[in-house]
Structure 1
Amino acid sequence: MRRLQLETRTELMAPASKVFDFVSDHTNAPRWQSGIDEVRRITPGPIGVGTEHELTRRFAGMKVTARNRFIAYDPGRFVAFEIPSGRMTGVASYLVEPTGPDTCRLVSTVDFQVTGLARYAVPLLTVIFKRDDKKALATLKILMEHS
């Protein structure tokens, strides 16, 4: 087993509440994260701790279906979710911090454990994650600042 850990920060010219509402609703992920084909909420009710999603994504040439579950939720500010099974398991989160009345900072973290043969590719997977994250944040910036 090897760990893949990343943290990215981006400044957005959009209200924190708008950014949080968008990124914490994982059904929006295909709109801003390349490689994610579909996200479906599989639990009823409002978003919060216990909310689960099933997602299909393309990553490093593979099509992967996974589930995630919200393990922390502070409305308007913070959401953390776990991916409990698969070749990559672990926790990711979004923290949205207001920096002004209509500006904010998004802090995105990933802390995954990689098992099986994929563990040997963690350096390459890290490069791919960073590249994909950079594109996703650029798309998010456009969606949040120009809508």
Structure 2
Amino acid sequence: MRRLQLETRTELRAPASKVFDFVADHTNAPRWQSGIDEIRRITPGPIGVGTEHELTRRFAGMKVVARNRFIAYEPDRFVAFEIPSGKMTGVASYLIEPTGANTCRLISNVDFQVAGLARFAIPLLTLIFKRDDEKALATLKVLLERP
């Protein structure tokens, strides 16, 4: 196995709590992340550590069905989730840092292990992830910076 690691940052003209609530609710993901066809919460109750989702996404020409599980949750600040099985496993997170009364910084981190033949394409997969993440963050800005 080989690792795919990526960190992206963006500044948003929106309150940190609004940004956190939106990105921590993974059912919003199809609204801002291209390639996610469907995502649904499969655990009842409020969002927090242990919350699980099932998602269907297209990535690098492949259809991927996966599950994720929240492993850390600090309201209005930080959420981390793991993808425990599949061709790509690992952890991703969103950290929201207030930068003013109505502005914040979103830091997105991905640390995945890639198995199978895809492990030989880590440089290409990293470029695809980076491009997709930049598009997603631009869409997120449009959605959350509207008055």
Q: TM-score range by the shorter chain?
A: over 0.9
- TM-score (ref. length: structure 1): 0.99
Q: Which runs of 4+ in 1 moved over 2 A?
A: none
What does residue range 1-147 of structure 1 map to in structure 2 within 5 Å? 1-147=1-147
Q: Which amino acid in 1 is paired with 2:9?
A: R
Q: Which amino acid in 2 is paired with 1:135?
A: K
> 2:93 and 2:52 mapped to 1: Cα distance?
14
Question: Alignment RMSD, CA only?
Answer: 0.5
Aligned length: 147
Q: Which amino acid in 2 is paired with 1:140?
A: L
How far 1:126 moved relative to its partner?
Answer: 0.3
How far 1:4 moved relative to its partner?
Answer: 0.2
Q: Percent identity?
A: 86
How far 1:60 moved relative to its partner?
Answer: 0.5
> 1:103 and 1:78 mapped to 2: Cα distance?
16
How far 1:114 moved relative to its partner?
Answer: 0.4
> 1:130 and 1:24 mapped to 2: Cα distance?
20
Q: SS where residue 138 of structure 1 aligns?
A: helix
How far 1:146 moved relative to its partner?
Answer: 1.1
Q: Which amino acid in 1 is paired with 2:86?
A: G
Q: SS where residue 47 of structure 1 aligns?
A: coil
Structure 1 unaligned spans of 5+: none
Structure 2 unaligned spans of 5+: none
